[in-house]
Amino acid sequence: MIDLKAFSFFNTLPSRELDKIKQISRFKKYASGTVILKEKEDVSDLIMVVEGQVSVIKTYGQKKSTLFTLDPGEIYGEVEILNGTKCLTTLIGYQEFQLIYIPKDFFLRLIGLYPGFAKETRDLYSRRGQILLEEGMSKSQLGKVVTFFNVKGGAGKSVISSNVAVMLAKYWQKKTVLLDMNLAFGDQAILLSLSQEKNIHLLTKAKQPLNIKRIEEQLTDHSSGLKVLLPPAVPELAELIKPEFVESIIEILKNHYDFIIIDTHNQLSDLELKVLENSDLIMLMMTMELTFIKNTKILLDLLGRLKIPKEKIKVVLNRAFKSMGLEPSKVEKSLRYAISHFIPSEGNIVVPSVNHGIPFVLSKGSDGSAILLSVRKLCARLTGEEIEKGTWNMFSLLKEVFGL
Ligand SMILES: Nc1ncnc2c1ncn2[C@@H]1O[C@H](COP(=O)(O)OP(=O)(O)OP(=O)(O)O)[C@@H](O)[C@H]1O
Ligand SMILES: [Mg+2]
């Protein structure tokens, strides 16, 4: 039985309304690759994803672009319903997925009755409306800023962010830049075998105002085609880098790169907050340990209070192995968040790659491995281009890589 309380979108509603939603809504299961709604069709219900993942795709002339994907607990349709328009996008679900259809009139009634719910919906509307109602591609053509974050160390932020960045640059041929925002003790120079001659500190000394040419003069080239902005050569210079300066770097890079991948330090100071505010996606990295789960839950609550939109945050479970001693579905319930990605533990591939300074996505030793597969899937979701009918959600990936 589906527990609607597990979905934070309904947080502001009393239990009796959740019971009513269950009674009057339709629940439907679909096979992977099913188109649920097409552009210009009527939207008569608010849709919520219960299981699986749904891609939201918009056509611009001849080109299709995946605007975002919906994980369990995320809704679709509020912009069309509140705006009185036909469907603005096409929705396709992946893996076996399940949806709830909440009738439009019932949804509008809830908005009228519960100010907290109305606010939640209005906030989502104002963020999404900008993207969905836009005619041209201008906004969606800007580079995507993807930040790997957690306040607890050792989740794999650095290792996974560098491998994702290298893969996007080399195999997807995306113009990609990696920012190492662990300004005092960043690891990217080591992970990618780069010299720190060029770095963000030297950029502060460049002639202002900043422009793309000045930024690129301080980017270091990696053999994969990736460009990297490295931290200052010595830790004591880190505090000279101000959050507003980093924000202006991100703003400029967005106009010139497809992806800005950001590795961060384990804290939530003004710098991290600025980075998170300027991110399109926050990959909240965690491992399957109780301490991580506890901290991640506190962090998710805090990000909510700081008004970081929920749909930006994707929980990534790293270093997963066959017998984790904890059920992923229980973790999702306790976090009130779906786990979006899953990366297996493969010390025999990761450790040598770190020690040699060669990302594992480039090394022969990782060919055919589960960790390579999972990073490829993560990149496929980021680019939105390879919409394969294969496995998307983490449970199916668990099955696939462990043969469960
Ligand atoms: N999927 C994985 N399988 C095996 N080992 C992993 C995996 N991911 C990360 N590791 C190992 O975990 C360690 C921590 O990873 P990493 O340095 O990327 O974490 P981090 O979140 O950046 O940590 P910090 O907060 O200290 O910067 C690394 O030594 C790496 O070898
Ligand atoms: Mg790190």
List the residue whose alpha carbon is closest to atom 15 of ligand 1.
Answer: 156
List the residue whose alpha carbon is closest to atom 31 of ligand 1.
Answer: 351
Q: Is the CB of 321 under 6 A from ligand 1?
A: no
pTM: 0.83
Ligand 1 centre distance from Cα of residue 249 (Å): 27
**pLDDT at residue 209, as a whole number:** 84
**pLDDT at residue 243, as a whole number:** 97
Which are the contacts of 242, defined by CB distance < 8 A and separation ≥ 6? none
Ligand 2 centre distance from Cα of residue 267 (Å): 11
Residues 191 and 402 sit within 8 Å (Cβ to Cβ) = no
The pairing of strands 259-263 and 144-149 is parallel
Count how many Cα atoms sit within 13 Å of the Cα of residue 316 in the half-sphere of its side chain: 29
User: Coil, strand or helix: which one is 320?
Assistant: strand
**pLDDT at residue 403, as a whole number:** 44
List the residue whose alpha carbon is closest to atom 29 of ligand 1.
Answer: 351
Q: Is the dihedral of CA 331, 334, 335, 338 positive or negative?
A: positive
**Quick one: residue 368, left, alpha or beta (phi over 0 = left, psi -120 to 50 = alpha)?**
left
**pLDDT at residue 397, as a whole number:** 57
Nearest residue to 394 (alpha-carbon basis) of 377, 376, 382:
377
- What is the spatial distance between Cα 127 and Cα 85, in angstroms, rounded to a whole number? 17
Rg of the chain's alpha carbons, rounded to an integer?
21
Residues 350 and 371 sit within 8 Å (Cβ to Cβ) = yes
**pLDDT at residue 77, as a whole number:** 97
The pairing of strands 63-70 and 45-60 is antiparallel
CA-angle at 264, arms to 262 and 269, nearest 5°: 125
**pLDDT at residue 392, as a whole number:** 42
Helix (H) / strand (E) element for 147: namely strand 144-149
List the residue whose alpha carbon is closest to atom 16 of ligand 1.
Answer: 156
Provide the angle, in degrees to the nearest 10, between the axes of the packed helices 115-132 and 104-113: 120
Per-residue pLDDT of the chain (404 residues; tens, 9 = 90+): 778 888 889 989 999 999 999 999 999 999 988 999 999 999 999 999 998 889 898 887 777 778 888 988 999 999 999 999 999 999 998 778 899 999 999 999 999 999 999 999 999 998 898 888 876 655 557 899 999 999 999 999 999 999 999 999 999 999 999 999 999 999 999 999 999 999 999 999 988 889 999 999 999 999 999 999 999 999 999 999 999 999 999 999 999 999 999 999 999 999 999 999 999 999 999 998 889 999 999 999 999 999 899 889 999 999 887 666 677 777 888 888 888 888 999 999 999 999 999 999 999 889 889 999 999 989 988 887 644 444 444 555 555 555 44
**pLDDT at residue 15, as a whole number:** 93
User: Coil, strand or helix: which one is 286?
Assistant: strand
Mutate to test the pocket of ligand 1, among 159, 261, 350 (most ligand atoms within 8 A of CB): 159
Ligand 2 centre distance from Cα of residue 230 (Å): 13
Residues in the chain: 404
Cis peptide before 103 (omega within 30 of 0): no
Question: Could you give all domains of the chain from N- to C-terminal order, each with its CATH number?
Answer: 4-139 (2.60.120.10), 142-402 (3.40.50.300)
Q: Is the CB of 2 under 6 A from ligand 1?
A: no
Nearest residue to 160 (alpha-carbon basis) of 404, 372, 398, 394:
372
Which are the contacts of 296, defined by CB distance < 8 A and separation ≥ 6? 150, 152, 284, 286, 315, 335
**pLDDT at residue 65, as a whole number:** 78
User: Coil, strand or helix: which one is 139?
Assistant: helix
Q: Is the CB of 372 under 6 A from ligand 1?
A: no
- What is the spatial distance between Cα 352 and Cα 358, in angstroms, rounded to a whole number? 8
| Ramachandran angles phi, psi of 182, nearest 5° | -85, 80
**pLDDT at residue 387, as a whole number:** 47
Which are the contacts of 386, defined by CB distance < 8 A and separation ≥ 6? 380
DSSP 8-state code for residue 231 = P
Nearest residue to 300 (alpha-carbon basis) of 341, 339, 242:
339
Q: Is the CB of 155 under 6 A from ligand 1?
A: yes
Residues 393 and 53 sit within 8 Å (Cβ to Cβ) = yes
Q: Is the CB of 154 under 6 A from ligand 1?
A: yes
Ligand 1 centre distance from Cα of residue 45 (Å): 43
**Atom of ligand 1 at shortest distance to CA of 160?**
18
Token pair, residue 15, equals: 């239990």
Q: Is the CB of 266 under 6 A from ligand 1?
A: yes
Ligand 2 centre distance from Cα of residue 322 (Å): 25
Token pair, residue 227, equals: 């460009």
Q: Is the CB of 358 under 6 A from ligand 1?
A: no
Q: Which amino acid is at 394?
A: M
